[in-house]
Amino acid sequence: MKFVIIGSGIIGLSIAKALIDKKIHKPLNILILDKYAIPSKGTSVHNSGVLHAGLYYKPGSMKAKLSIDGGIKLREWCKKINLPILECGKLLIPFNENDYVNLEKIEKNALNNGCNVEMIDHDRASNIQPFLIKKDKYLWSPNTSVFDPKLIVERLYKSLKEMGVNFLKKSVILDDSDKKRLIFDDYTNLSYENYINCAGPGALDIAKSVTNKFDNLTILPFLGQYAVQKSGLEIKTNLYPVPDPELPFLGIHLTPRINKSSLIGPNAIPVFKKDIQGYDLKDMRDIPSIITNNIILFASNKSNYRNHALSELSFNSKNKFYVNALRYFSSDLKSNFQIEMDSKTYGIRAQLLNRNTYELENDFIYEKINNNIHIVNAVSPAFTSCFSLAEFIVNKVI
């Protein structure tokens, strides 16, 4: 009987790698299932590709621990196998009084997490990114980098396949735990000894079939749109606004990419449809409850949600992306700056909402049930954290 991994995204693939590296299972004994595409064409290949340095996450949280260690491991692995990594750093830029206050809080938090950050002035910041808008200070994170998510997912898949890991296109609908078998949507089933559920947006439903521990959680989907810069000034580093500490979104940022064309985004628009721009959101099909939950969050303004929703709902045009991108620069270079919306880059964020508290869940969430592990909130920066998150989870298998 094979050890089963549900989901062929970066988390499922990293878990397989960790099981093999730690000699817990032989490649031939591992079976990875995915309902849509192998390897995944989901969130793992539709994201910003920023290797986060761990600045924002609460000290002691899973995100803080695993993103810093994971970032180091992912960077080393890419270098070892000659996958490109852009070691370009990141500048956080304050735009209003509140941002200055939050910038100091982020600096303190980052230092508590052991990150390498430093407040710098305009002269130094301009040496990093020419034509940068003049502000009193900026937070500089030299260890933030950029990776190519697609190249990483494809390389990991290829190496696992070559080692003999098994892959199968199947959609798990539930765990018939009494009989220790996974039931597929075509009414076939698969007996298992153990499994790890890393089905991204589908993980919560599978977990709910065996436990009521997650009854208070539901998915609130957000669409992250991006524009791509076509011409103009070269973006040398990640340029980020100061995020609202209440929200799990980081704001529209500029990210230099490996292929030189920089990425602008993402926004985070609440989604109320099942099919959106080529994405199949059937994993999150409960549209009436999504609408209700959005209304409750909007009315209560929990997590500052009303302000977010209002600014995002108006933020769906190329012009708005253009204005947001240009706010990072001094006014004299606007003429040559061209951008294009690029729907191929859009990603869906399956954000978890706690229905008891009406708070957006921010940290990674996992649970071991009947000796199987369910990872139900592998949100950003789970790609950065993938190798450390996988090792952490695999240690729970033993």
Residues that bind ligand FAD (CB under 6 A): 6-12, 33-36, 40, 42-44, 47-50, 52, 171-172, 198-202, 206, 224, 266, 283, 347-349, 378-384
**Inter-residue contact 364 to 392 (CB < 8 Å):** no
E strand or H helix that includes residue 122: helix 122-128
- Least distance between ligand FAD and beta carbon 369 (Å): 16
- Least distance between ligand FAD and beta carbon 375 (Å): 7
- Least distance between ligand FAD and beta carbon 128 (Å): 19
In the bound state with ligand FAD, the residue whose beta carbon lies nearer, of 236 and 257, is 257
In the bound state with ligand FAD, the residue whose beta carbon lies nearer, of 13 and 137, is 13
Q: Report the alpha-carbon distance of residue 218 to residue 377 in Å, rounded.
A: 11
- Least distance between ligand FAD and beta carbon 153 (Å): 8
Beta bridge mates, 51: 145
In the bound state with ligand FAD, the residue whose beta carbon lies nearer, of 137 and 385, is 385
Residue with tokens 């390498």: 116
Chain centre to alpha carbon of residue 276: 19
Give phi and psi for 269, each to the nearest 5.
Answer: -95, 125
Q: Report the alpha-carbon distance of residue 47 to residue 25 in Å, rounded.
A: 30
28 to 4, 20, 35, 165, 166: CA distances (angstroms): 11, 10, 21, 5, 7
- Least distance between ligand FAD and beta carbon 136 (Å): 27
- Least distance between ligand FAD and beta carbon 198 (Å): 5
Buried b (16+ CB within 10 A) or exposed e, 296-313: ebbeeebbebeebbeebe
- Least distance between ligand FAD and beta carbon 189 (Å): 13
Beta bridge mates, 5: 32, 196
E strand or H helix that includes residue 125: helix 122-128
Q: Report the alpha-carbon distance of residue 95 to residue 101 in Å, rounded.
A: 11
For strands 85-86 and 118-120, give the pairing: unpaired
Mapping DSSP onto H, E and C, the string for 303-353 reads HHHHHHHHHHHCCCCHHHHHHHHHCCECHHHHHHCEEEECHHHCEEEEEEE
Encoded tokens for 223: 């669409």
- Least distance between ligand FAD and beta carbon 55 (Å): 13
- Least distance between ligand FAD and beta carbon 123 (Å): 29
Q: Report the alpha-carbon distance of residue 184 to residue 4 in Å, rounded.
A: 13
Alpha-carbon dihedral sign for residues 98, 103, 106, 108: negative
In the bound state with ligand FAD, the residue whose beta carbon lies nearer, of 137 and 149, is 149
Residue 69 has a CB neighbour count (10 Å cut-off) of 17
- Least distance between ligand FAD and beta carbon 385 (Å): 7
128 to 132, 174, 342: CA distances (angstroms): 9, 51, 27
- Least distance between ligand FAD and beta carbon 319 (Å): 21
